[in-house]
């Protein structure tokens, strides 16, 4: 059963000629409700400014609309922050363009209910309350200047400053929770005890919202009075936000042999057997279509961590709709825990290396362009692959390059788990010091991948598991292949630089450098001084030089 809510809202102008408050609620259905949740928001435009109403309405409408346009892989707070930051820039641009709109700004209080959790975002002096079990809890703090003469002046608001800082909070949602969003025209007149009295007396959200605003004006309120009330009537069952929780209850299939049948699928071949997962090539008996089936080894039965990881991998893969990745094939009538992906004839780049394929410079550049386009598509969804290497890059007979295996990928808002996954020789130096792998490290791994395709070597030498490597200067690829053009060498050395600040910042930047090629080559990376590369060796040389100088002086003095 999906999340069930009741909603009420009221906004009254009061003695003022113009209502500068604006509020709204979006209650989606189906997958959008499960993936993004319900959003309620209230804004209070700065009084005394022509653009107050426009600021509050534009900000609330923009949030309610654009929040649902953000990728499902983004966390709630990240999605809100991205949207409101863009709205803040727009308000500032309008203030700068039109003197009459100077000071065009608004408070913003928003609540998102998704699954069995609530999330809040807040800036300004509108407020969010939680009514739970007969008690009223205030969830926000007012952003006002702490000065007697400025006690009613906002220190933070949307459109007030280029540096936007919202307050965020989240918690477990309980059936019966009531969230109340109020403008200062309500809470500034009604004390918390009176608010609690009204909420207790009015069981219906719409009646509660109307009672709060009308009572505020009747009690002498001189400001606009607005209220939004959202009741969480029934909660969905505990589940992952991708609606695949029921799949986790399915048993793992036994180890399958060629010829075995499962849910109308005929097993043709075991493609990969790892410590945790199994990949099979199967054929849909009804359509004749070949697919890839991914599941866990039978020994993982009951391992909730691995089961959740497989489900999250399917969830991510469903959202990466791109020609640079295999696509998930719906399998709604599953009797076991697995998921299906499209099958493509061809081979991985590692298989081609193992078959002694000699990649030309032109081929490596072409594959690099496709690889970076795929990584860029992944990063736009805030997903880091974390294991880019030739074995996870497939070249199909259709000529398309596809990035495989999102098994250790992570998306924004997720915990990456303990340690860093990946293949040591393709991991950036800082990862060995405990830095968490992220999108930028995919670019480093892409650089090592292209370097390896050209040279069959690694820029810092091969690194074995559990080894604690020391990194000096990367070996130029021309040492192994002198015919590599200077622009390709400079590009690869930048991609695999020891210092993260010297590398490409985004996949698009890396891609642009590849596409420009020799027409606009990158400058050769500056070689680090010996003192920075190897401090111990540098000081040893200084000490030796000092001893020699002293010895020469001593000889001269003894003559």
Say if residue 48's pLDDT is above 70: no
Taking alpha carbons only, the member of 381, 365, 389, 453 closest to residue 413 is 381
Q: Read off the pTM.
A: 0.66
Average pLDDT, rounded, for the chain: 89
Q: Please, are residues 165 and 216 in contact by the beta-carbon 8 Å criterion?
A: no
The pLDDT-based confidence of 418 (bands split at 50, 70, 90) is very low
Query: Looking at residue 239, what is its pLDDT?
Result: 53
pLDDT digits (tens, 9 = 90+) for 463-485: 988 778 888 899 999 999 999 99
Residues of the chain with CATH 3.60.40.10: 4-234
Query: Looking at residue 246, what is its pLDDT?
Result: 61
Query: Looking at residue 544, what is its pLDDT?
Result: 85
Residue 539 has, within 13 A of its CA and on its CB side, a CA count of: 4
Angle made by CA atoms 299, 302, 305, in degrees to the nearest 5: 100
Say if residue 242's pLDDT is above 50: no
Say if residue 362's pLDDT is above 90: yes
CATH of domain 4-234: 3.60.40.10
Say if residue 245's pLDDT is above 60: no
Which class in CATH covers the domain with range 351-528? mainly alpha
Instruction: Name the CATH architecture for the domain at 245-342.
Output: 2-Layer Sandwich (3.30)
pLDDT digits (tens, 9 = 90+) for 363-394: 999 999 999 999 999 999 889 999 999 999 99
How far apart (Å, rounded) are the C-alpha atoms in residues 52 and 462? 61
- R_g over Cα of the chain: 30
Query: Looking at residue 101, what is its pLDDT?
Result: 74
Average pLDDT score over residue span 189-207 = 95
Helix orientation angle between 507-516 and 361-380, rounded to the nearest 10 degrees: 150
Residues of the chain with CATH 1.10.510.10: 351-528
pLDDT digits (tens, 9 = 90+) for 273-314: 998 999 999 999 999 999 999 999 999 988 878 887 898 889
Residues of the chain with CATH 3.30.200.20: 245-342
Average pLDDT score over residue span 114-142 = 94
pLDDT digits (tens, 9 = 90+) for 158-178: 998 899 999 999 999 999 999
Say if residue 241's pLDDT is above 60: no
Average pLDDT score over residue span 234-262 = 78
Query: Looking at residue 237, what is its pLDDT?
Result: 78
Query: Looking at residue 384, what is its pLDDT?
Result: 94
Query: Looking at residue 283, what is its pLDDT?
Result: 97
Query: Looking at residue 434, what is its pLDDT?
Result: 85
Query: Looking at residue 533, what is its pLDDT?
Result: 53
């Amino acid at each position: 059963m999906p999340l069930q809510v009741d909603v009420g809202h009221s906004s009254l102008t009061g003695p003022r000629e113009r209502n500068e408050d604006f509020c709204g609620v979006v209650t989606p259905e189906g997958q959008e409700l499960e993936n993004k949740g319900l959003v309620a928001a209230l804004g209070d435009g700065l009084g005394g400014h022509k653009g107050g109403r426009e600021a509050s309405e534009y900000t609330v409408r923009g949030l309610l609309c654009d929040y649902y346009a953000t990728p499902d892989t983004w966390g709630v707070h990240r999605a809100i922050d991205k949207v409101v930051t863009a709205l803040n820039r727009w308000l500032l641009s309008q203030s700068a363009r039109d003197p009459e709109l100077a000071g065009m700004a608004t408070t913003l209080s928003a609540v998102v209910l998704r699954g069995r959790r609530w999330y809040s975002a807040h800036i300004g002096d509108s407020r969010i309350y939680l009514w739970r079990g007969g008690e009223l809890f205030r969830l926000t703090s007012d952003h006002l200047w702490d000065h007697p003469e400025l006690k009613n002046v906002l220190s933070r608001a949307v459109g007030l400053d280029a540096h936007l800082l919202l307050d965020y909070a989240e918690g477990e949602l309980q059936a019966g929770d009531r969230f109340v969003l109020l403008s200062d025209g309500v809470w500034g007149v009604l004390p918390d005890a009176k608010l609690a009295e009204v909420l207790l007396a009015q069981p219906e959200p719409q009646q509660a919202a109307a009672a709060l605003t009308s009572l505020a004006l009747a009690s002498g309120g001189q400001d606009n009075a607005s209220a939004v009330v959202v009741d969480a009537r029934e909660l969905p069952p505990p589940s992952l936000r991708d609606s695949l929780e029921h799949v986790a209850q399915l048993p793992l299939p036994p180890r399958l042999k060629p010829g075995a049948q499962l849910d109308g699928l005929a097993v043709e071949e075991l493609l990969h057997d790892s410590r945790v997962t199994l990949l099979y090539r199967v054929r849909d008996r009804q359509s004749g279509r070949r697919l890839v089936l991914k599941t866990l080894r039978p020994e993982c039965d009951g391992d909730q961590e691995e089961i959740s990881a497989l489900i999250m991998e399917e969830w991510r893969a469903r959202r990466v709709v791109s020609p640079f990745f295999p696509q998930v094939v719906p399998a709604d009538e599953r009797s076991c825990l697995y998921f299906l992906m499209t099958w493509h004839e061809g081979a991985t780049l590692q298989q081609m290396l193992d078959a002694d394929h000699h990649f030309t410079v032109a081929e490596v550049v072409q594959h690099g362009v496709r690889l970076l386009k795929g990584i860029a598509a992944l990063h736009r969804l805030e997903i880091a692959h974390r294991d880019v290497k030739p074995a996870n890059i497939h070249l199909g007979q259709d000529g398309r390059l596809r990035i495989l295996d999102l098994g250790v990928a992570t998306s924004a808002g997720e915990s990456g788990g303990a340690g860093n996954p990946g293949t040591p020789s393709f991991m950036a130096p800082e990862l060995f010091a405990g830095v968490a792998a992220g999108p930028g490290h995919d670019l480093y791994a892409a650089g090592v991948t292209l370097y390896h395709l050209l040279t069959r070597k690694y820029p810092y030498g091969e690194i074995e598991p559990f080894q604690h490597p020391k990194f000096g200067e990367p070996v130029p690829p021309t040492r192994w292949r002198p015919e590599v053009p200077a622009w390709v060498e400079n590009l690869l050395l930048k991609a695999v630089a020891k210092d993260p600040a010297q590398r490409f910042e985004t996949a698009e930047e890396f891609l642009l450098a590849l596409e420009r090629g020799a027409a606009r080559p990158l400058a050769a990376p500056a070689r680090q001084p010996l003192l920075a590369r190897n401090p111990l060796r540098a000081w040893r040389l200084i000490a030796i030089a000092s001893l020699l100088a002293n010895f020469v002086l001593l000889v001269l003095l003894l003559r």
